[in-house]
Amino acid sequence: MRPQATDDPIRAVLGDAITERMLLRPFTEEDLGWLTALHGDPAVMRYIDHPVPAAVVAAETLPRFLREPAELPAGLGHFAALREPGGEPLGWFGLVPPSSVALQRAATIGLGAVVSGALEVGYRLFPSTWGHGYATEGARTLVRRAFTHAGVEKVVATTMSVNVASRRVLEKAGLNLAGTLLIDWPDPLDGAEHGDVIYATNRQAWSRSS
């Protein structure tokens, strides 16, 4: 049953979050079909990685998402984003301990303290949703959750330097550029030579701007 909307757009109910136009909820086994399509879409993966084979999504990605409610503190994890009303899958948003390669290597450019103890916000949406503000809406929601529900002091994110659209989303969500990291990828994507950018904010900065 869908939780009732309230004046608080991030009311947490069983791990769900309600935004202005979306319901963010934990993944279920029934999400495999569209999750496979999302991770296999070359346009979606353009600035992330090479498209993920369906077998890998079924054997690794979805099971990992399904385990998160039991393994992570309440309110954290990857959340299926559904359009409201109607329930159409739009993609996912994540709020998890830092796991991106760039964030794991942040200490090499002096950003270890920025990432330590932070939560990482990320998202992956179908191309049909791009340009309609969903990415910003979801990212802002989870940044707010990090500070008001999870109680952390820092939020971080990363993307390829050439991914201008994603960088704008992170800036609109209240994060600021913290540094650029060059990684010697074994099978680099086009544009990888320009590096990966790390964005961050802390509770004090977020409170001033929210």
| pLDDT-derived band at 13, boundaries 50, 70, 90 | very low
For residue 6, being part of any structural domain is answered with: no
- Reading the block at residue 204, the tokens are 């004090």
Taking the C-alpha atoms of residue 41 and residue 192, their distance in angstroms, rounded to an integer, is: 19
For residue 12, being part of any structural domain is answered with: no
Number of domains in the chain: 1
pLDDT of residue 3: 39
For residue 4, being part of any structural domain is answered with: no
Taking the C-alpha atoms of residue 160 and residue 188, their distance in angstroms, rounded to an integer, is: 11
Taking the C-alpha atoms of residue 143 and residue 209, their distance in angstroms, rounded to an integer, is: 12
pLDDT of residue 165: 97
When mean pLDDT is compared across 5-14, 34-43, 76-85, 187-196, the lowest value belongs to 5-14
What is the side-by-side strand order in the sheet with 89-96? 17-18, 22-26, 77-83, 89-96, 119-125, 154-160, 196-202, 176-181
Helix then strand then coil, in percent of the chain rounded to 5, is 35, 25, 40
pLDDT of residue 11: 42
Question: Helix, strand or coil for residue 73?
Answer: coil
Peptide bond into 9 cis (omega under 30): no
For residue 50, being part of any structural domain is answered with: yes
For residue 137, being part of any structural domain is answered with: yes
The predicted model scores a pTM of: 0.91
For residue 46, being part of any structural domain is answered with: yes
For residue 194, being part of any structural domain is answered with: yes
Taking the C-alpha atoms of residue 7 and residue 125, their distance in angstroms, rounded to an integer, is: 26
Taking the C-alpha atoms of residue 91 and residue 127, their distance in angstroms, rounded to an integer, is: 10
pLDDT of residue 15: 61
For residue 48, being part of any structural domain is answered with: yes
CATH number at residue 88: 3.40.630.30
| Higher pLDDT among residues 1 and 71, named by residue | 71
Question: Domain limits at 81?
Answer: 17-209
